[in-house]
């Protein structure tokens, strides 16, 4: 039986609830993205520490989703307050500090947690329920994020041509899904080419699953193939998201993005960034982006987890920076919910006329 969607199937978050606060369980429930799509398994997180570990060990992945889960964790902490108002405030600040430390590069995390903490503090001062106030705020951010993703993807679809073979890197975020879906609805025949994205293979699993679910042809390549494929005309453009965009047009994304950007620049292929809701107003340039360094052990195993197949010999060390930084001169344009900007003009995102 054919099913017709007016929304990309990969974006039906309300139907699948891949992350949420469960009122009955009094816990945060998330889809285990380490196992999906081979297994659809949900993890129940009942403490702040369990939420923090779930973010650190990649149970939840992607900038916005991990920020939402962290925000729900802070709400859960606000639910369990039982000390004096002063001690409550101090405790919530400690919780926020723990959650912020989980993935330091992620821009969304650094937006949602301080804002959620402020909401909780205000509720305490005004003798309102800090849990309900914080939960309502985080849920409103999830809804806002859904709208931003849709608008960003629809803007980016303007840059997609019929017949394009589009390289992407790492997880297929909501904006990329909206871009692909919009282009398809416009009658554009496109092929998505995704890197494996080692060591967790987000491209081979998550991006591939999202594209396939939407009926978008998908070709898988290893992380080192893009330059060659560009050189022989097998890739037309490179499009990926960003975990943070700076005011001067630098972007940070999953490690490996920089090498694809350099290759695209060399071979004259456009590189477009899905910048969602624009630059981080607190990050001036690439030098201000903290890069998360993960345990080298993760690159010794398939899918990054001890207990899976080991692919490296014992007795060696390694490096694993989780992100790299691409400078603006390698970027053709940054797509946002408010329009498409040149990298060196991305700060104009905050101008009043761009908000219409």
* Assigned token pair, 250: 């630098």
SS3 assignment, position 118: helix
For the four alpha carbons of 7, 353, 112 and 245, in that order, the dihedral sign comes to: positive
CA nearest neighbour of 336 among 241, 250, 269: 241
CA–CA gap between residue 136 and residue 302 (Å, rounded): 39
Task: Give the DSSP H or E segment for 127.
Answer: none
- Calculate the alpha carbon distances from 166 to 158, 226, 339 in Å: 14, 11, 20
The DSSP 8-state label assigned to residue 24 in this structure reads T
Q: What 3-state class would DSSP assign to 48?
A: helix
Nearest to 279 by CA among 307, 250, 259: 250
243 catalytic residue (yes or no): yes
Considering the candidates 32, 108, 236, 243, report the single residue annotated as catalytic. Answer: 243
CB distance 146 to 276 below 8 Å: no
CA 284 – CA 213 distance, rounded (Å): 38
Cα–chain center distance at 298: 20
Catalytic site positions: 243
């Amino acid at each position: 039986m054919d099913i017709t969607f007016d929304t990309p199937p990969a974006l039906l978050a309300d139907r699948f609830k891949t992350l949420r606060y469960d009122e009955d369980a009094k816990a945060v429930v998330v889809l285990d993205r380490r196992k999906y799509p081979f297994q659809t398994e949900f993890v129940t997180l009942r403490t702040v520490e369990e939420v923090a570990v779930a973010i650190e060990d990649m149970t939840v992945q992607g900038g916005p989703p991990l920020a939402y889960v962290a925000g729900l964790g802070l709400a859960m902490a606000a639910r369990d307050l039982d000390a004096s108002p002063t001690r409550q405030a101090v405790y919530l600040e400690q919780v926020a500090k723990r959650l912020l430390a989980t993935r330091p590069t992620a821009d969304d995390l650094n937006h949602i947690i301080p804002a959620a903490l402020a909401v909780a503090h205000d509720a305490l001062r005004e003798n309102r329920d800090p849990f309900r106030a914080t939960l309502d705020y985080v849920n409103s951010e999830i809804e806002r994020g859904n709208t931003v993703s849709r608008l960003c993807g629809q803007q980016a679809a303007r840059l997609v041509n019929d017949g394009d073979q589009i390289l992407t890197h790492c997880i297929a975020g909501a904006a990329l899904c909206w871009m692909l879906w919009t282009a398809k609805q416009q009658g554009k025949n496109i092929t998505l080419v995704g890197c494996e994205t080692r060591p967790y293979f987000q491209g081979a699993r998550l991006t591939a699953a999202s594209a396939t679910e939407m009926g978008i042809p998908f070709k898988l390549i290893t992380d080192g193939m893009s330059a060659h494929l560009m050189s022989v005309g097998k890739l037309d453009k490179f499009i990926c998201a960003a975990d943070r965009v700076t005011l001067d047009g630098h972007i940070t994304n999953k490690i490996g993005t920089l090498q694809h950007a350099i290759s695209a620049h060399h071979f004259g292929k456009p590189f477009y960034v899905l910048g969602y809701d624009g630059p981080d107003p607190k990050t001036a340039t690439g030098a201000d982006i903290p890069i998360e360094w993960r345990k080298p052990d993760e690159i010794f195993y398939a899918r990054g987890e001890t207990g899976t197949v080991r692919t490296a010999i014992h007795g060696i060390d390694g490096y694993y920076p989780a992100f790299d930084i691409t400078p603006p001169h390698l970027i053709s344009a940054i797509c946002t919910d408010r329009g498409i900007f040149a990298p060196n003009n991305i700060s104009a995102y905050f101008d009043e006329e761009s908000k219409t």
